[in-house]
Amino acid sequence: MRKYEIMYIVRSDVEEAAVQAIVERFQGIINNGGEVTKTNVMGKRRLAYEINKNRDGIYVLVNFTATPEIVKELDRVMRITDEVIRFMIVQDVA
């Protein structure tokens, strides 16, 4: 298993309960064979540039260990989730 880090931005018009449900859904995918080591919901922040007519977003940072298959599934689910504006999954080398 490898260490990964994912940061994703949720639309700012999504309610707090829905943001928590999104975070739990993604953690459920990771926990299906991996392990979440740290989750940090950084809150609402202004984006550097407008993305799909959104000026603000709720940033979430997650550190986890998983297999490449789990990361591939997480990537697939994030692409089809409408509430997620942008995301990036990187392998944590530190």
- Domains within the chain, CATH numbers bracketed: 2-91 (3.30.70.60)
Report how far apart, in Å, the C-alpha atoms of 92 and of each of 33, 48, 54 are: 18, 24, 29
pTM score of the predicted model: 0.89
pLDDT mean across residues, the chain: 92
pLDDT of res. 92: 82
Structure tokens at 49: 């540039």
User: What is the pLDDT at residue 64?
Assistant: 94
- pLDDT tens by residue, 10-38: 999 999 999 999 999 999 999 988 999 99
pLDDT score, position 33: 87
pLDDT score of 46: 95
